[in-house]
């Protein structure tokens, strides 16, 4: 099968097109024929991209770990009735990912694709939506009526964090660039702070929750805007090795969760939640996303079309 692999060190991390054997599903696994993959451009520098679970170095990893596609084959313990079902989901960070014609995924990490969404749209959802869900509800325990500040509200994760917090009855304040102000208001934020023009700490304080997708100085300055009992969560991987215990505790990595995939799919299908795809590119162009040569045109996720190289006109 066609696949993109991480170059071998000492080259700077980038991707090359090659081939790989179609993997065989083991116990509890599904073989997915990938239609589309969602991309997080920082992934090449993440630990699991270059290391195995045992700490050994990993060579030639296939990146991208969220997909939409069709079940092609199943492990022995899974009913063959599943074959042909359209699904969306995630695969293990330490396993080969979805910039390939096929990938493996654990059964518990996929769910039926939201029926109203195209494969391109569905591939933009799994990691971003579950990161927002787990950050707001599992980690920060956001309650209805509370005030939450979402940093990076026009980004892949932020788009879901704003909408899910609002649907939960929270009051949402967001940071974004001026060009994304109206867009973020349309997602349900009641106030949008232009991060280039103002310091958010001059505009808000006494917050119940801060959801950070930006890190660095933005994260540092966020502690001061929390009120008594306030909680902060961050998803930015550069803080993972922080010496500050407070920062370490605030960080988490999203995990697949079938029940949450089901709840997100229901919200997408009944129109209460929406996903935003910026651009769909063919597999041959995917390396440019990771090197920074290909940028978002406006907002939302960059998605790679795997199966159908004839990209659709208009609707994605």
Ligand X SMILES: NC(=O)c1ccc[n+]([C@@H]2O[C@H](COP(=O)([O-])OP(=O)(O)OC[C@H]3O[C@@H](n4cnc5c(N)ncnc54)[C@H](OP(=O)(O)O)[C@@H]3O)[C@@H](O)[C@H]2O)c1
Binding site for ligand X (CB under 6 A): 40, 42, 127, 131, 151-152, 154-158, 175-177, 180, 195, 213-214, 218, 235-237, 253-254, 299
Using DSSP bridges, classify how beta strands 277-282 and 301-305 pair: parallel, antiparallel or unpaired: parallel
Nearer residue to ligand X within complex by CB, 1 or 294:
294
- CB count within 10 Å of CB 37 equals 30
For residue 161, the minimal CB distance to ligand X (Å) is 9
**Count of other CB atoms within 10 angstroms of residue 214:** 17
Residue nearest to ligand X (CB): 155
CB closer to ligand X out of 253 and 266: 253
CB of 154 to ligand X, least distance (A): 4
Nearer to ligand X, 69 or 215 (CB): 215
According to DSSP, the β-strands at 147-151 and 171-176 are parallel
Q: Return the ∠ at Cα 264 (arms to 259 and 269), rounded to 5°.
A: 125
Element (H, E) at 122: helix 119-122
Closer of 155 and 287 to ligand X (Cβ) = 155
Closest CA to 30 of 130, 125, 98, 121: 98
Q: How far is the CB of 254 from ligand X (least distance, A)?
A: 4
DSSP symbols for 234-293: E--GGGTT-S-HHHHHHB------HHHHHHHHHHHHTTSS---EEEEEEGGGHHHHHHTS
Nearer to ligand X, 53 or 80 (CB): 53
Nearest to residue 188, comparing CAs of 222, 154, 236? 154
Shortest reach from residue 156's CB to ligand X, in Å: 3
Q: Which is nearer to ligand X, 142 or 193 (CB)?
A: 193
Residues 62 and 92: beta-carbon distance below 8 Å: no
CB of 137 to ligand X, least distance (A): 15
**42 contacts 289 by C-beta, under 8 angstroms:** no
Give the nearer residue to ligand X in terms of CB position, either 64 or 154: 154
Q: Which two tokens stand for residue 115?
A: 């029926």
Shortest distance (Å) from residue 41 CB to ligand X: 7
Tokens of 172: 């949402």
The CB-of-79 to ligand X minimum distance in angstroms stands at 31
């Amino acid at each position: 099968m066609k696949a993109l692999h991480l170059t071998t060190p000492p080259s700077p991390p980038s991707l090359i097109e090659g081939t790989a054997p179609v993997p065989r599903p083991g116990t509890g696994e599904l073989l997915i024929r990938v239609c589309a993959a969602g991309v997080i451009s920082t992934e090449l520098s993440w630990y699991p991209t270059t290391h195995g679970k045992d700490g050994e170095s990993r060579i030639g990893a296939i990146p991208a770990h969220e997909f939409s596609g069709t079940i092609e084959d199943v492990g022995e313990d899974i009913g063959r009735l599943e074959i042909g079902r359209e699904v969306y989901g995630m695969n293990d960070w330490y396993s080969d990912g979805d910039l390939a014609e096929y990938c493996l995924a654990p059964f518990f990490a996929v769910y039926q694709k939201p029926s109203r969404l195209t494969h391109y749209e569905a591939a933009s959802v799994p990691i971003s939506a579950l990161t927002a869900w787990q950050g707001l509800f599992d980690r920060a325990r956001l309650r209805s009526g509370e005030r939450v500040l979402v940093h990076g509200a026009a980004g892949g994760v932020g788009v879901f964090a704003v909408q899910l917090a609002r649907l939960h009855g929270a009051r949402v304040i967001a940071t974004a660039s001026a060009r994304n102000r109206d867009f973020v208001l349309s997602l349900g934020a009641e106030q949008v702070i232009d991060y280039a023009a103002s310091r958010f700490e001059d505009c808000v304080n006494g917050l119940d929750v801060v959801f950070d997708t930006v890190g660095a100085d933005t994260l540092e300055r966020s502690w001061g805007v929390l009120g008594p009992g306030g909680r902060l969560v961050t998803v930015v991987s550069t803080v993972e090795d922080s010496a500050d215990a407070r920062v370490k505790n605030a960080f988490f990595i999203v995990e697949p969760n079938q029940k949450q995939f089901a709840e997100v799919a229901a919200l997408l299908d009944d129109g209460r939640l929406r996903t935003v795809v910026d651009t769909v590119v063919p597999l041959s162009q995917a390396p440019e996303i990771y090197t920074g040569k290909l940028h978002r045109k406006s907002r939302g996720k960059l998605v790679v079309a795997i199966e159908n190289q004839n990209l659709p006109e208009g609707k994605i």
